[in-house]
Every structure is written in structure tokens, then in C-alpha cells.
Chain A
Amino acid sequence: MKVLLRALRSPRLAVWTIVAVAAYAAVASIIERSDYSAPYRTPLFLALATLLASSTAACALERTRRTIRSWRSDEVSPEARERVLLKPMISLPTPYRGELVMERVDGSLRSLGMSVRRHDDMLQARSHAVTVLGSPVFHWALTLLFVVIVLGQLTRSEGLMGIVVGSSKPDIEDSYGKLEVGPWAGGLSGALIGVPRVDWDHTAGEVSRGASPFVELRTARGDLLASGHVYANRPLRHGSMLVHSASHGLAVVVSLQTPSGAGENEVLLDYIPGQEQVEPNGFTLSGSDDAPVASVLFDLPPQPRDGTTRRVRVHIASGPASPADASAREIVLAEGESVDLGSGVRLTIERLTSYARLSVVDDWSVPFIYVLFAVAAVGLSLAIFAPYRTVRVLVVDGPEGVRVHALVRHGRGEPGFPARVERALAGAVKGGGHGRDD
């Protein structure tokens, strides 16, 4: 275990793992594909990410140990006193003696924003306690970020659900056209998601938001949980559930009268981007022996795209229907009109309306990820701009007079810091017009 930990906290391994992940991502981004995230589910990437996470955790552990050691080493010991005496980084003569020199040094160290403690003839100054935490906090936040992201991916669900205006669907697997559920996810909420209306040109904050569905989220019993217009940057939230508007289109609600009974079907038609036409969509009807009776495909006759479509074109074929199929029957129908499909089946257009395709995400990890982002940023800021700094000053009364010895430590080894300390000390202990305590 110790060997593994030592290997993982190796700075070289950390640097090379970071480089390897970056190189992998660069190569993966060059290969053209429709699913951008596919290369990041491969065993190679997962292995690299695991190595990076483990290395970050080992570094966090190492830095925490170092922090504790550093904190403890701040206790003034005879050895610490010896180090300042024998190997001072700064050594200044002073005409002052006794209490006065201690007071002046104390004041100069405080002017550097440090807190000062006194131990006999030695002064120990250090930056605020929180500055020692920068690097460990940053690395622990990154480590936890890895863990929370992975747990979030394993337990989240995300799906697309098309809902005809004026209706609702329960948050269950069958309601989704496309659904991805993490292997550790609990069941879906079962809440009712309804779209009472779509506002075709919704304006909010003086910005036109385009077509915006008004979404209601209710319990299975019908109690309202949340509601509101949903558009880009304005999802509907309830607990860990987030509902976005993914797209919208036209919906055809048809009833089918067959020899064996009656039923209703919803056909969702997506607009083709930049055109006044929709992607044809439909269904195949089967007879009692499961043999196909007819295929029905819907699209639009030429008409304005304003959300108030009143007619639909129906392509009816005995085989697979296609708008290009010359043998297919073609008929334009309005609401309430019917067509005979043969074999005793009659199709009636009940409603021509619109639908909203909603993206429904249930992910508890998102707020925790945001918090960890913030914690990492604070830790990094501390590590870079306010690292831990200590100064130990010893006043030595020797045969050559009184001297002030100082040992300076800066968490990041900033070259200007010892010079700043020296300037501050020199200003405080050099001779001048003040009284001397001798």
C-alpha cells in the first residue's frame, strides 16, 4: 500500500498523467463523430482518468501531511532556535536592546500582515492560518470532484419526452423516446409532466425566447410541484429534477376505428431546420394476424409555420409509406376529417396541435459539483496569491553588539518575500531618532 501511495504521489507521474489525458482528449477531438462523448467512455480513457484521480488524491494526502508537519514545525523548539542562530537568511545590527528591539521587530512583522507570537528572545510570525490550507484544499476539492462526477454519472437519468400540448405524461420509462439511466440510478420519479400550452413568441427580460412551453410538474395524484415557462437558461426545477425545452414541433392526434375496436395515436412531427416542412413520421397498422394492413405517413401540405396548422397530408401505402412513393395514396385532411385505410380501418384526425420535446434530467450531483468548483477556486487562489509564510526572528546580544537574525519561509519560494522582510526589519531596527532601551 505504501509503495502504491509513494508511486501515486510522484510529481513526475502527476505531470505525465495530466499530459496523457490532455493528449488523449486532443486526439479524440480530431476524430469526427456525431457523439462527442463516445471516446470518453473507452477503457483507455477511464483508466487514465482513474490514474489522474488517484494521483490527485495521493497528492492531496501528501499535501495534507506536509501541512500538518509544517503547522507542527511552527512550534518553537530548541532546534528551531538553533537554525535561526546558525543559518540566518537575514542578519542586521541594531542599536536597540531588550524590550524595545522586540517591540520594533514585532511591529514590523505585523506590518507584513502576519500574526506574531513571542517566545523569550525569539519572535515567530506567520501568515493567517487559512493560508496553509490552499494547496491541500485545492487537491481535495479536485479529488472529490472526480468522485462526485462519477457517482453522479452512475446514478443520474436523462431522457427526451415529447408531450402533446394539453396533455401530460408520467416520468416513467415508457414515456421517453430516448432515455439514459445510470446503472446505480433508483427508479424514475413517476411525477406527471404536463404541457398546458406553448407560447410561440414568449418574451422575458426584453429578449424574445422563441417558442416556450409552459410546463407543469405534478405528483402522481395531481398536486402541483412546480410550473413555469421553459426556455434556454430557464429550466423548470424540482429537487434534483431539471426540465429543459429541447425542441418543439407539430403533433397529430388520430383515432383509429378497426373491426376489433377503437384506439388513439399521437404522431410527433419535427420541423426540418430552415424549412417550412416537417420530417415525415407515422405508423404501420397490423391486422389481427400481425400482418401489416397499411402504413401511414404524415407531413404538411404547403402552409405557413405559425403553430396554427389546420391541415395535414397523409401518405397511405400497403407497404412502407414514403412521400416519394408514387403508388402511395395521398390525401390532405383537416381536424375532424377521416379516411378509409382499407380492411375496415378508418383513421380520423382528432386534433392538429403542437408538442414540446422536453429534456428531463435527474442528477443530484450538480449542486455539489458547483460547490466543489468554488472550493477548488478558493484553494487555488490561496495557494497562488496567499501561500503560507513564516518568519522567525532571534535577537542576539553578542560581543559585536545586538543583532537581529531572521529565517524566512515562503510557501511558493517567492524571491521577493525575503527582501520585503529584510526591508521591514531594517526599517524597524536601524538606528534613528528614537530612544534606546540601554
Chain B
Amino acid sequence: MGETTEVLLMWTAVSVYALAAVLFIVGFMFGKERLNALALLATAIGIVPHVAAVVGRWVRLGHGPYLGFYEVISSFALLGSVAFLLLALRIQTLRVAGTALMPIAFLALGGAMLAPKGGLDVTPALASYWLGIHVAFAKLTYGSLITGFGLAIMFLLRAKRPDHRLLSRLPDDATLDDLVFKFVAAGFMFLGIMIAAGAVWANEAWGRYWGWDPIETWSLISWLCYAAVLHARLTLGWKGPRFMWAAIAALPVVLFALVGVAVVYNSIHGAYLTGP
């Protein structure tokens, strides 16, 4: 697959995700179940060109989607959309969470499309099987935490509008609260494994497992933020809205660790996102 075909497929995915996001939002505003179902269908349709573009690029460049802003963010958008689709198909009452999640997927992929699309080389420092482990857990981390974030927003919206037609179909408060906790806790665990895998890899590549490099530091800060959120829930009894606000407030920190640090700081880690 050539680069032009890949870009066309990606723009198709962006457009269909945009449609899905609009359908979810309009369906939510007017409480239309049918629009919600259409939005889910649009999500599924959007995933097809997205997968084709990612796989085509993988075959063409010979490495997975983990180098450069375009690859990293578009693959996060893809995995997020797939995870949401699977979740919504399994637990139909959670479909409405697409109102929060699909705009994120659309904006992420749209943002990725504005970045340079040239392929970065797999440098000797990146050529390690630890890369696969590190990246896999990074995707699981962000997938879990963003899903937890979306569900937390739904929880808070329902608290404001308990009679909303779609929101009232969500699982009861206790179950939704527990679901958010599980996603946040899973994300916390994956983040921990991602950091540990990164430390092992750093030791192999550079001879030190920790160097307080900005990305290492911000990954640790993210982990500590989620540790505080989970501690507050498990030991201080933060349930319901307080826990939801905490889960929402922690996400920007972890997103900054992913994207912001590589852009703001001059770090040896940043090469994976911005090139050497």
C-alpha cells in the first residue's frame, strides 16, 4: 500500500469517526436511541479503513505503529475505538459512553493527521524486543485510563440528569462506579508494568534503569497520581462523584507524559515521537 492510499484511508476514518462523534452527541442531547445505534455502526465502519491504513503502513515500513506522533497517536485512537466498540457490544447499556470517547478518538486521529507522516527509522536503541512489551502496555494503559475517563464523565452527567433517556440505561451507580474503578485500576497496573518494562529496557540500552529523564519522571508522576486516586478510593472511601472527578483530573497528567513531554522537553526519549 502506498502512502497516498494510506492517507486517504486515514482521512476516511477521520471523517467517519467525526460522524460517529456527532451522532453520539446529537443522540445524547435528544435522547435518541436510534442515533446512538447509528453512531455505533459508524464507529465500526470507521475502524475498517483505520485498520487497513495502520496494517498497510506496518507492512510498508516494516515496523509497528510506535514511531512518530502520527503513528503513536493514530494507533491509540484505533485501539481506543476498537476497545470501546467491543465494550459497547458486550455491555449495550454502555453505548452512551461513546458520547465522551468518540470525540476523543476523532480529535486524536485528526490531530495525528496534521503531523508529519514520513516513517522514522528503527534506531539501534529502539531495536529491542522490550520495545514491543513497553508499547503494548502503553496502549493498554491509555486504553484503560481513557475508557475510565469516558465512563466517569457519563457517571457525572447522569448525576446531573438522572432522567435522561440514554443515561438512565447505564448500569446503576454502584456498578458504574465499580466499572470506572476497574478501568482506572487496570490502567494503573498496566502503567506500572510499562514503567518497569521501560526501566529494564533503559538498563539494556543505556546501562541505567532510571535517569530522571523527563519522560521517565512524568510517567512516574502519572503513576503516583493514579496511586493517590486509587488510595483515596480504597482507603478514604472516595466513591461516586469525588472518585469520578479524581479519575478525570488524573488523565491530563498521563496524556502530558505521552505527548507533551516529548514536545516540550529535549529528551533522548522524545525521539520515538518527534524523531532524532
Give the interface of A toward B (CB within 8 A). 11-12, 14-15, 18-19, 21-22, 25-26, 28-29, 36-37, 39-40, 158, 205, 207-210, 231-235, 242, 244, 246, 359, 361, 366, 369-370, 373-374, 376-377, 380-381, 384-385, 412, 414-416
Contact = CB atoms under 8 A, between A and B. Distances in A.
Nearest to A233: B128
Contacts of A415: 174-175, 177-178
A22 B228 contact: yes
A370 B200 contact: yes
A310 to B, nearest CB: 28
28 contacts: A11-B231, A11-B235, A11-B236, A15-B231, A22-B221, A22-B225, A22-B228, A25-B220, A36-B217, A39-B212, A232-B124, A232-B125, A232-B128, A232-B205, A233-B127, A233-B128, A234-B204, A235-B204, A235-B207, A244-B206, A244-B207, A359-B207, A370-B200, A376-B192, A377-B193, A384-B182, A384-B185, A384-B189
B211 A377 contact: no
A14 B196 CA distance: 22
A40 B217 CA distance: 11
A253 B236 CA distance: 68
Interface centre among B185, B200, B224, by most chain A C-beta atoms within 10 angstroms, is B224
B259 interface: no
A29 B214 contact: yes
Contacts of A377: 189, 192-193, 196
B227 interface: yes
Contacts of B224: 18-19, 21-22, 25
Contact of A233 (B174, B181, B182, B205): B205
Nearest to A415: B174
A209 B121 CA distance: 12
B207 A233 contact: no
Contacts of B108: none
Contacts of A208: 124
A414 B186 CA distance: 15
B245 interface: no
A434 to B, nearest CB: 32
A369 B236 contact: no
A210 B236 CA distance: 54
Contact of A381 (B130, B189, B196, B235): B189
B82 interface: no
A12 to B, nearest CB: 7
A150 B207 CA distance: 17
B198 to A, nearest CB: 11
A318 B187 CA distance: 65
Given A25-B217, A36-B217, A235-B207, A207 B127 contact: yes
Nearest to B62: A206
A19 B193 contact: no
Contacts of A21: 224
Given A21-B224, A29-B217, A232-B206, 8 more contacts: A14-B231, A25-B217, A25-B224, A209-B124, A361-B207, A366-B209, A373-B199, A380-B188
Contacts of A26: 218, 221
Contacts of A37: 211-212
Contacts of A361: 207-208
Listed residue (A359, A380, A415) with the most chain B CB atoms within 10 angstroms of its CB: A415
B182 A242 contact: no
B127 A242 contact: no
Nearest to B232: A15
A357 B182 CA distance: 48
A39 B125 CA distance: 27
Interface centre among B182, B217, B225 (most CB of A within 10 A): B217
Interface string B117-139: 00000111101101000000000
Interface in B161-193: 174-175, 177-178, 181-182, 185-186, 188-189, 192-193
A74 B213 CA distance: 48
Contacts of A232: 123-125, 127-128, 205-206
Contacts of A373: 196, 199-200
From B185, B207, B217, residue with most partner A Cβ within 10 Å: B207
A374 B133 CA distance: 14
A210 B220 contact: no
A24 to B, nearest CB: 9
A21 B217 CA distance: 11
Contacts of B124: 207-210, 231-233
B234 interface: yes
Contacts of A15: 228, 231-232, 235-236
Most buried by B among A158, A232, A361: A232
User: Which 10 residue pairs of A and B lie closest in terms of their CB atoms, listed nearest first?
Assistant: A11-B235, A415-B174, A244-B207, A22-B224, A373-B196, A233-B128, A36-B212, A232-B125, A384-B185, A232-B124
B92 interface: no
A208 B204 CA distance: 17
B130 to A, nearest CB: 8
Contacts of B227: 18
A21 B227 CA distance: 12
B5 interface: no
A39 B217 CA distance: 12
Contact of B212 (A12, A40, A210, A380): A40
A369 B200 CA distance: 9
B205 A416 contact: no
Contacts of A369: 199, 209
Interface string B69-82: 00000000000000
B203 A158 contact: no
A366 B196 CA distance: 12
B236 A12 contact: yes
Contacts of A242: 203, 207
A18 B208 contact: no
A381 to B, nearest CB: 6
Given A12-B236, A18-B227, A381-B189, A233 B214 contact: no
Given A361-B208, A384-B182, A412 B234 contact: yes
A134 to B, nearest CB: 11
Interface string B234-261: 1110000000000000000000000000
